[in-house]
Structure 1
Amino acid sequence: MATLRDRYDPKANGLGLLRLAFALTVLLAHSWPLGIARPNPGQGLTRGQTDLGTLAVDGFFVLSGFLVAASARKGNALRFAWHRFLRIFPGLWVCLAVTALAAALTGHAGGPGFVRENFFGAVHQWGIGTLFQDTPYGRLVSGSVVNGSLWSLVYELLCYCGLAALVALGLPRRAPWLVPVLAAGAYLVLVVDALHDPTTPHYRGGLGPFPLLGYVDLQLACYLGFLFLLGASAQLYAHRIPLHPALACSSFLILAMSLGYGGFFVAGYPAFAYLTLYAACVVPPRLHGVGREHDYSYGIYIYAFPIQQAVAHFGGGAWGPLPFAALCLPPVLLAAALSWHLVERPVLALKHRLPMPRHLTLAR
């Protein structure tokens, strides 16, 4: 039977298409709460276990673990951290600055504080003054929320930090088995929760404060960390993971049953991760180029929420969530394209120019 390593080509795959699809799915799902103050679609169908937007975020963590683990295998902790920094922070900083500037131009004070409080990826300030308090979502939460999508970045960064620590110790190369062992530990938490309630994760409070990142939700850290570790384990053991249509069909049935009847986090998570990686390998070759040269997925993710809030401010949700999503899509794609071409791609060109202290450079 063919394995994941046999079917996955690092230079020709569907990962770019999947990232783009997940980012657009988040935009679509947010059209309900931001446009008409209703929950993300899918909660009723899944017994409250998840929804369309959350499922897309889950997919991001699986793909992130799979892609980042490939970099971790090279064993250079400084280079690993530098690449992750370039991928996340320059685009985020420009997004925060643009948002603060737009708020100032519309007469809302507090933009500099918004940039400062969210500068390191953890959201410590959700709003800017009274900006967007009059939108459907603002009235729903009774406050200003400028960019709610940024909540997941702190967990992505925690996953990066954990993997960077392993890289510094040389473990992804010398002891790759440790990654699936960590995944099994996180999975045990999910199993314990499922025994208590198969549809609702157990809230474990916060952990921290960590330097720069502040407090993190332990439940989210365990669940999203498990998905990240599943993706990383798949990368490290791609030669051991069989890839077959029958297994994909079985995973789909397991996922559907867990969504409808409970047990999504225990049974559906691994099935969803398998389907995600399977899809990346079987995407038709004519679609392999999507997102490869021009990756707009991150720009869509960080700009969609504030743009949707702005469209909602002007009454864009009056026609319903789908027309609202259609109204928001062009400006979001424009912002994502500008972010990629003017910020993200230029800074990513620096990934091989790792800044190092002079004495370390001379030592090399």
Structure 2
Amino acid sequence: MHHHDSVLSRLVRSRGTVSDLFSRRNNSLGLLRLLLASAVVVSHARILGFGDREFGYAFSGGQIDLGSLAVFGFFVLSGLLITRSGNRLPVGRFLWHRALRLLPGLWVCLTVTALGVAPLLYWRQHGSTAGYWQHPQGPLAYLRANWAIGISQWGISGVMETAHAQGLAFNNAFDGALWSLKYEVLCYLGVALLALTGSLTRARRAVLAVTVLLGWLVLSDAIGNRYMSGAPAAKHGGPFDVPLMGALDVDWVVYLGFAFALGSLIELYKERVPISDPLAALAAATLLITLSYGYFFAIGVPAYAYLLLWLAIRLPRPLQKVGRTHDYSYGIYIYGFVVEQALATLGGARWGFGAYLGLALGGTLIVAMLSWHLVERPAMRLKDRGRFRSVVRADTAPQPVRQRPRRTGSEAPAEFRCRSRPLHDGRIDATGSITRPYAPHG
């Protein structure tokens, strides 16, 4: 037995555990989030600008594409950071922080889209805005339908449908990326519930059991179907309604929940998870092999989760400064789709993929910076109102009093951003109301 242990230890060659090495301040999560958000914009450029399959679809045998891969990465990182936040804060304060991080940016994005971008595009199409404001699927209906996270109206006054008919656009949604927000919020509520019951601190095996259950459901889908394309091809149950958020698809809850739970598990067992370069190399190889040869969701996603964690800790120190103070990833997520749809509607694809993508990335970054500096960061300043501010002040005192750990100014905004998702399987949401110009796969 001792011999086996020594062989294993040589293979792992741990530099320490997550608990030893993961610093709240010095990590590369800001860079990883920026890369993941940008990957979604790059992936969407193919379908929104040109009607082509997204990057990675063929390589993975139809299992996933680059945009979806980024979504799963976001949910892994979210699981780790949101669980950490849920462990540290009272439940009410935790939910207040999450709402501040998510809602103001979303509300301004919806407003800018409905009252700014869409009427301009409508005017370009029709020569006036007559009929825009009175349309049954108009801007006010769009805001009413979508303010509470669950997106139930995708188009505005037929703008994208008109562009589609003109051969300029390939999707009828103004901001299809927002589909995943409700699954994000469901995960937050799950963490809050576990915190209320004490499971996060006293019964972490409950989270382990949930992760194993979700993993088993994912694995059972893949048995006999190694190129299983994830939630769109799964059949674990129909949609269920959640107040305000609307219908959630059980299959997406299982698949995204599995990614989130893996991140959560890393945080809860951080003193037992080794950070090892050989293990990271093995995880990277596993990720590539499962993308190419199948079983990505069952085997590749856990490997992907470990690889992201390793990168967050082991990337060179200068990269740890990226996104630490100014976090543009949420803005890139919520505005990228809108910018790309506007570009497509204006005929931007006629200059070719490189020019279209460059304009999309540049335009999205500018809007994301404005969103952060004018909306998201000011909103996050409200998080320290009242009782919590005194805790932060007390924590700076020299005496060794047991306090709730101090949160640095940039950490709350850096805890997690929501993500976009590519238009998977010809669907924007569980209802399949938005279709691609080609037949769904799987």
Which TM-score band applies after superposition, normalised by the shorter structure? over 0.9
Which letter maps to 1:87? R
Which residue is equivalent to 2:147? 119
Q: Confirm or deny: 8 A CA contact 2:48 2:169 kept in the other structure.
A: no
Q: Report the Cα distance in structure 1 between the residues aligned to 2:92 and 2:212, rounded to whole angstroms.
A: 28
Asked if residue 32 in structure 1 is aligned to residue 46 in structure 2, the reply is yes
Which letter maps to 1:43? Y
Which residue is equivalent to 1:209? 241
Q: Confirm or deny: 8 A CA contact 2:160 2:169 kept in the other structure.
A: no
Q: Report the Cα distance in structure 2 between the residues aligned to 1:165 and 1:354, rounded to whole angstroms.
A: 24
Q: Report the Cα distance in structure 2 between the residues aligned to 1:138 and 1:75, rounded to whole angstroms.
A: 52
CA gap of 1:142–1:260, structure 2 versus 1, over 3 A, is: closer
- Determine helix, strand or coil for the equivalent of 2:275: coil
Q: Confirm or deny: 8 A CA contact 2:149 2:245 kept in the other structure.
A: yes
Deviation at 1:140, TM superposition (A): 9.3
Q: Report the Cα distance in structure 1 between the residues aligned to 2:59 and 2:164, rounded to whole angstroms.
A: 24
Which letter maps to 1:175? A
Q: Confirm or deny: 8 A CA contact 1:37 1:137 kept in the other structure.
A: no
The one of 33, 39, 44 equivalent to 2:58 is 44
CA gap of 1:143–1:322, structure 2 versus 1, over 3 A, is: closer
Q: Report the Cα distance in structure 1 between the residues aligned to 2:264 and 2:195, rounded to whole angstroms.
A: 13
User: How is 1:222-241 mapped onto 2 (pairs within 5 angstroms)?
Assistant: 222-241=254-273
Q: Report the Cα distance in structure 2 between the residues aligned to 1:320 and 1:136, rounded to whole angstroms.
A: 18
Deviation at 1:10, TM superposition (A): 0.9
Deviation at 1:4, TM superposition (A): 1.6
The one of 79, 83, 107 equivalent to 1:65 is 79
Asked if residue 3 in structure 1 is aligned to residue 31 in structure 2, the reply is no
Deviation at 1:206, TM superposition (A): 2.8
CA gap of 1:329–1:143, structure 2 versus 1, over 3 A, is: closer
- Determine helix, strand or coil for the equivalent of 1:209: strand
Q: Confirm or deny: 8 A CA contact 1:62 1:273 kept in the other structure.
A: yes
User: How is 1:173-192 mapped onto 2 (pairs within 5 angstroms)?
Assistant: 173-192=201-220
Moved more, 16-25 or 318-327: 318-327
For structure 2, the 5+ residue unaligned runs are: 1-13, 124-128, 389-442
Identity %: 42
CA gap of 1:213–1:139, structure 2 versus 1, over 3 A, is: farther
Q: Report the Cα distance in structure 2 between the residues aligned to 1:144 and 1:351, rounded to whole angstroms.
A: 37
Which residue is equivalent to 1:172? 200
Q: Report the Cα distance in structure 2 between the residues aligned to 1:333 and 1:75, rounded to whole angstroms.
A: 32
Deviation at 1:329, TM superposition (A): 1.8
Deviation at 1:75, TM superposition (A): 5.0
Which residue is equivalent to 1:323? 355
For structure 1, the 5+ residue unaligned runs are: 357-364
Which residue is equivalent to 1:279? 311
Which letter maps to 1:41? F
Q: Confirm or deny: 8 A CA contact 1:35 1:324 kept in the other structure.
A: yes
Deviations 1:170-204 (A, max 9, x none): 22112122212211111010111011422224233
CA gap of 1:140–1:160, structure 2 versus 1, over 3 A, is: farther
Q: Report the Cα distance in structure 2 between the residues aligned to 1:341 and 1:170, rounded to whole angstroms.
A: 36
Q: Report the Cα distance in structure 1 between the residues aligned to 2:226 and 2:336, rounded to whole angstroms.
A: 32
- Determine helix, strand or coil for the equivalent of 1:216: strand
Q: How many residues are matched?
A: 356
Q: Confirm or deny: 8 A CA contact 2:48 2:171 kept in the other structure.
A: no
Q: Confirm or deny: 8 A CA contact 1:248 1:274 kept in the other structure.
A: yes
Which residue is equivalent to 1:360? none
- Determine helix, strand or coil for the equivalent of 1:243: strand
Give the TM-score taking structure 1 as reference length.
Answer: 0.93
User: How is 1:83-162 mapped onto 2 (pairs within 5 angstroms)?
Assistant: 83-102=97-116, 103-105=118-120, 106=123, 107=129, 108-109=132-133, 110-135=138-163, 144-162=172-190
Which entry has the higher C-alpha Rg, 1 or 2? 2
CA RMSD of aligned residues (A): 1.9
Which residue is equivalent to 1:247? 279
Q: Confirm or deny: 8 A CA contact 2:145 2:151 kept in the other structure.
A: yes
The one of 7, 20, 23 equivalent to 2:37 is 23
Deviations 1:68-103 (A, max 9, x none): 111111251101111110111110001001111122
Q: Report the Cα distance in structure 2 between the residues aligned to 1:33 and 1:138, rounded to whole angstroms.
A: 16
Which residue is equivalent to 1:362? none
Which letter maps to 1:25? A
- Determine helix, strand or coil for the equivalent of 2:148: coil
